[in-house]
Amino acid sequence: MTNIVLFGAPGAGKGTLAGKIKKFSSVVHISTGDLFRANIKNETPIGKEAKSYIDAGQLVPDSVVIGMVKDRIDQPDVKENGFMLDGFPRTLEQAKALDEIASLDVVVVIEIAKEDLKKRILGRRSCPKCGKIYNIYNDELKPKKEGYCDVCENTALVQRSDDNEETFEKRWNTYLSQSEAVIDYYSKNEGLVQKIDGTRTMSYTEAELRSILKM
């Protein structure tokens, strides 16, 4: 059983990496975004509390986020197989709270330059019909016909409303302001932090990932 934290800026490739790891491991992928959506949809007490802040246009407090994560970590499938956290912790306070809930085996820090990440996010397009993802700045991910899905042919690709320069700058600056303290905190535990190249999240092999994750 392995407990993993995937740490990196929004869009750095945490979800992509998690998908690759899931192909050879039974570790449970816990995305805080998915947790929020599930709790709000199911109208759990934590979900209702989170929704009250979101509806008021406020940030959900650490205490609510931590409670949501703790509840998920306490589930039988996680206790049996371990977890892979994606999107948590984001702050030093959350990192300290997580230490009180569970012990970690590895913190994978996905490093990527701002300009590379910007192209990845602002160039992202998707098919509203089949969900296939493209990127107009990446030759390997460009659609064959500009603006249209390769699979659904006549279906025009769309861009997420929050994939814009203003939102990107806000998210990047927030990440920078919080990340240093979190990485420094985990770096005090020798060997816990493993840094990887964010431009390679799609090409890491199983052998490489097993080595990084000590699996």
User: Is residue 32 scored above 90 in pLDDT?
Assistant: no
From the list 20, 72, 90, 120, the catalytic residue is 90
Query: Is residue 167, in this structure, part of any structural domain at all?
Result: no
pLDDT band for position 60 (50/70/90)? confident
From the list 14, 72, 120, 125, the catalytic residue is 14
Query: Is residue 73, in this structure, part of any structural domain at all?
Result: yes
pLDDT tens track for 137-191? 988 889 999 999 999 988 999 998 888 999 899 889 989 998 999 999 999 998 9
Query: Is residue 29, in this structure, part of any structural domain at all?
Result: yes
**Helix spans in the chain (H):** 14-22, 32-41, 45-55, 62-73, 76-81, 92-101, 114-122, 165-187, 206-213
Query: Is residue 137, in this structure, part of any structural domain at all?
Result: no
Q: Which domain holds residue 10?
A: 4-112+176-213
| pLDDT in the model for residue 63 | 87
Is 210 a known active-site residue? no
State the pTM of this model: 0.84
CB 113 within 8 A of CB 10: no
Is 124 a known active-site residue? yes
| CA-based R_g, the chain, Å | 18
Length of the chain: 215
From the list 22, 48, 160, 210, the catalytic residue is 160
Instruction: Provide mean pLDDT across the span 79-102.
Output: 93
Q: What are phi and psi of 57, to 5 degrees?
A: 75, 25
CATH of the domain at 48: 3.40.50.300
From the list 51, 96, 142, 171, the catalytic residue is 171
Is 200 a known active-site residue? no
Instruction: Provide mean pLDDT across the span 4-31.
Output: 92
From the list 20, 120, 124, 125, the catalytic residue is 124
